[in-house]
Chain A
């Protein structure tokens, strides 16, 4: 009987502690969910505002004059369109040739693997050549 009492008491105490901890945990989680929900809503609101601002700022009646005045852009005219295979005829062969290699002197210098020993002896402002 005494053993039953002791075991029963321990079970109740453990359960009580477990329930109390679960309740505390649930409250903490609930508070966190509330915070995250509020944060998600704020982020969602901010995104909505930014999307609306982007749409407002990219209105054609605003972008058009800026593109014309600052970039010199104009709507494409039909005669500016051409088929890809006709590009060489239109622009000239040489303008379509991509350079396969550049003169060695124009290549950028490789970074030195070791620190230059005597930097003071090299002419100031002159790039090292290979």
Chain B
């Protein structure tokens, strides 16, 4: 091709090619960049959806995996005040299907045109949701939320605690393990055994049928590991309806309440004296006369037979206050205090779980204080803290802190020796003796070799201790020949309806025995079928038997 006789020269050709190549390069970069962006950022929305599903608060299960608490989808009712024409009419209509709402309060809130969102009621039942839907009111909407549910009702209610409407733990295990539960995922497995827990709670409930009482508490724990198998407070609460709790039911008596627990301290007094080398098992004491300490006099409410020469085992079996004071006087206040501190009774317990109340300790640890503490007056502790002090008797003398979460790793248990194995065995034998021939006979669950001690403490009042209001308790270890479990039952102002005495021998001991009989099979404790039958106190001539039992234990 020619132009004006000269061959055609496309002067714009190379430039056009560069422009096209540039445009292609830009387009290519955009396409590749966008592809990379989609590849990197594309799945973000899906991830959010998945995370919304996994945000469900974790379940709580017992040691066998039985469900104790879960989160279920529920509906809540909300409103946009700007879309409501007549707030009072709406509130009045809602009152017909949601009786808990306050018409006046709701009318005020629905009249606030500045707000875009107002909660009306959280956690509607399906029936309530349908009823509200059928009202056909404008400006209302349903919001799906997770609601905490406790399908076993009152079972372990105090220990589990509950959450608020926003799903955050406010009491009990729900509060103690809140961060772990809020993360969702695998259930939180407690050391609690639902079967044992039910047995303990059921017996506390039945105790109310036998005794007029203000409250009760109970603990069952594995002394080898510190794993708490059951922990209960009576009256029980239903965490599904925490607002329905009465004032009497509100405190968790097993963890949050403090009691002077009485003579169940005596085994500790004996152990402390034996550890200090101030007491031998065959020592005898004269408990025939009241002891005068300063302005106070210590007496035995039920004098012992042959009180001029009673053994240590007799002091425990028949719960001699005078004997306990004489033993404590052998070691003095400081050593007594050190021993009680070593078993965790003088400070708040440290463990992973709902926190125990700090003990109420005497401001001055003088001779009188030391004397009264030897038989369980003057030092107020929580039932859980006290139950832990019996673990060393079952554990060869080693203290273990309470554990509430499975799996329990034996290697991580912080054991500490608080007494020798021989002291633990000797006191165990004396406590067994107490159940066989002493004040603890009604706790003798046949086959399960219960060893334990009764405690009857007068409650302090404005004018000193009140003999008409008692805390009765029974602390036990079983089975005595191969001790593994500790049981503590505490009853507040238990008064037998049959007219029997208000002492632990007639109240807490029998409840503890029934708890052990129910719990032992669930805890895989094989009964000992040739165990001696309980001996009635009338038939006892048995001091030699007691000595032999204790001596045999020492000799083991």
B135-161: which have CB < 8 Å to A? Answer: 149, 151-153, 155
CA distance A87 to B448 in the complex (A): 21
Task: For A40, give its contact among B27, B53, B59 (CB under 8 Å).
Answer: B53
**Chain A residues with CB below 8 A from B28, complex form:** 11-12, 15
Residues in A whose Cβ lies below 8 Å from that of B38: 22-23, 26
CB-CB under 8 A from B27, the residues of chain A are: 12, 15
Residues of B within 8 A of A40 (CB): 53
B152 and A55 form a contact (CB under 8 A):
yes
17 cross-chain CB contacts under 8 A: A1-B13, A8-B21, A19-B35, A26-B38, A33-B46, A37-B50, A48-B73, A51-B59, A51-B70, A52-B72, A55-B152, A56-B153, A60-B195, A60-B198, A79-B527, A81-B526, A81-B529
Q: Once the chains bind, are B31 and A15 in contact (CB under 8 Å)?
A: yes
Digitize A5-24: 1 where CB-to-B-CB distance is under 8 Å, 0 elsewhere.
Answer: 10010011001100100110
* Contact (Cβ within 8 A) B195 A37: no
Check: A76 CB closer than 8 A to any chain B CB: yes
Given contacts A51-B59, A56-B151, A56-B152, 6 further A-B contacts (CB under 8 A): A11-B28, A16-B31, A19-B35, A37-B50, A40-B53, A78-B527
Whether A78 contacts B72 by the Cβ 8 Å rule is: no
Q: Across the interface, which residues of A come within 8 angstroms of B53, CB to CB?
A: 37, 40-41, 44
Query: Judging by beta carbons under 8 Å apart, are A76 and B521 in contact?
Result: yes
B34 to A52, Cβ gap below 8 A?
Answer: no
A26, B70: Cβ atoms closer than 8 Å: no
Q: Are B66 and A8 in contact (CB under 8 A)?
A: no
Is chain A's interface secondary structure helix, strand, loop, or mixed overall? helix
A25 to B293, CA, bound (A): 91
In the assembled complex, the Cα of A26 lies from the Cα of B44 at a distance in Å of 12
Residues of A with C-beta under 8 A to B149: 52
Task: Kindly state whether residue B20 has any CB partner on chain A within 8 Å.
Answer: yes
Near B by CB (< 8 A), chain A positions 76-93 give 76, 78-79, 81-82
What residues on A are CB-neighbors of B35 within 8 Å?
Answer: 19, 22
Return chain A residues, CB-CB under 8 Å to B447.
Answer: 78-79, 81
Cβ contacts under 8 Å, A11 to chain B:
24, 28
Query: With A and B bound together, what is the CA distance between A55 and B446 in angstroms?
Result: 32
State the CA gap A22–B39 with chains docked (Å).
10
Report whether A75 and B518 are in contact in the complex, using a CB–CB cutoff of 8 Å: yes
Q: A78 near B49 (CB under 8 angstroms)?
A: no
CB-contact partner of A4 in B17, B68, B73, under 8 A: B17
**Min C-beta distance of A3 to chain B, whole Å:** 11
Q: Is B56 an interface residue (CB 8 A)?
A: yes
Q: Is B42 an interface residue (CB 8 A)?
A: yes
| B105 in the interface (beta carbon within 8 A) | no
The interface residues of chain B lying within 8 Å CB-to-CB of A44 are 53, 56
**Is the CB–CB distance between A59 and B70 below 8 Å?**
no
Inter-chain CA distance A56–B68, complex, in Å, is 9
B151: which of A15, A22, A53, A61 is its contact (CB, 8 Å)?
Answer: A53
Answer whether A8 and B24 are a contact pair too, CB < 8 Å, given A48-B70, A51-B70: yes
Asked if B549 lies at the interface with its beta carbon under 8 angstroms from chain A, I say no
Q: Which single member of B59, B195, B446 contacts A78 (CB below 8 Å)?
A: B446
Write the A63-102 contact mask toward B (1 if CB under 8 angstroms, else 0): 0000000000001101101100000000000000000000
Mask of B63-88 contacts with A, CB within 8 angstroms, 1/0: 00011101111000000000000000
Q: Which residues of B sit under 8 angstroms from A55, Cβ to Cβ?
A: 66-68, 70, 151-152
* Complex interface: chain A residues within 8 A of B16 (CB): 1
A34 to B45, CA, bound (A): 9
* Cβ contact of A75, chosen from B59, B66, B521, cutoff 8 A: B521
Complex Cα gap A81–B446 (Å): 12
In the bound complex, do residue A5 and residue B67 qualify as a contact, i.e. CB atoms below 8 Å apart? Answer: no
Partner of A26, one of B17, B42, B67, B518: B42
Contact A52 B56, beta carbon cutoff 8 Å: no
Set A16, A22, A45, A59: member contacting B155, Cβ < 8 A: A59
B8-37 residues with Cβ-Cβ distance < 8 A to A are: 13, 16-17, 20-21, 24, 27-28, 31, 34-35
A126 contacts the other chain (CB 8 A)? no
| Cα distance, A96 to B35, chains bound together (Å) | 76
Q: Are B42 and A61 in contact (CB under 8 A)?
A: no
List the A side residues contacting B71 at CB < 8 Å.
48
Give every chain A residue within 8 A of B521 (Cβ-Cβ): 75-76
Kindly state the separation between the CA atoms of A5 and B395 in the bound complex, as whole angstroms: 89
Do residues A52 and B448 form an inter-chain contact, with CB atoms below 8 A? no
B70 / chain A contacts, CB cutoff of 8 Å = 48, 51-52, 55
- With A33-B49, A34-B49 in contact, do A19 and B34 touch (Cβ < 8 Å)? yes
A37 touches B42 (CB 8 A): no
Which of chain A's residues has its CB closest to B73's CB? A45
Please tell me which one of the listed residues B34, B52, B153, B446 contacts residue A59 in the complex, with CB atoms under 8 A apart: B153
Query: Which partner residue on chain B sits nearest A54 by CB separation?
Result: B67
Tell me, in angstroms, the Cα distance from A38 to B183 when the chains sit together: 20
Interchain CB contact under 8 A, B155 and A30? no
Mask: chain B, 513-527; 1 = CB below 8 Å from A; 0 = not = 000011001000011
Q: Which residues of A contact B526 (CB under 8 A)?
A: 81
Q: Contact between A45 and B72 (Cβ–Cβ < 8 Å)?
A: yes
Question: Chain B's nearest CB lies how many Å from the CB of A127?
Answer: 46
From A22, A26, A78, give the contact of B529 (CB < 8 A). A78
Closest 10 CB pairs of A and B: A78-B447, A78-B527, A55-B151, A55-B67, A56-B151, A60-B198, A52-B151, A8-B24, A33-B46, A37-B49
| Cβ–Cβ contact B155 & A19, under 8 A | no
Chain A contacts for B67, CB-based, 8 A: 51-52, 54-55
Nearest B residue to A33 by beta-carbon distance? B46
Tell me, yes or no, whether A49 is within 8 Å of chain B by CB: yes
Give the docked Cα–Cα distance between A81 and B520 (Å).
Answer: 12
By a CB distance below 8 angstroms, the chain A residues around B56 are 44, 48
Q: For residues 493 through 527 of chain B, which have their beta carbon under 8 Å from a beta carbon of chain A?
A: 517-518, 521, 526-527
Bound: A126/B31 CA distance, A: 84
A58 to B50, CA, bound (A): 32
B contact residues around A23 at 8 Å (CB): 38
Q: Which residues of B contact A45 (CB under 8 A)?
A: 72-73
B20 surroundings in chain A (CB, below 8 A): 4-5, 8
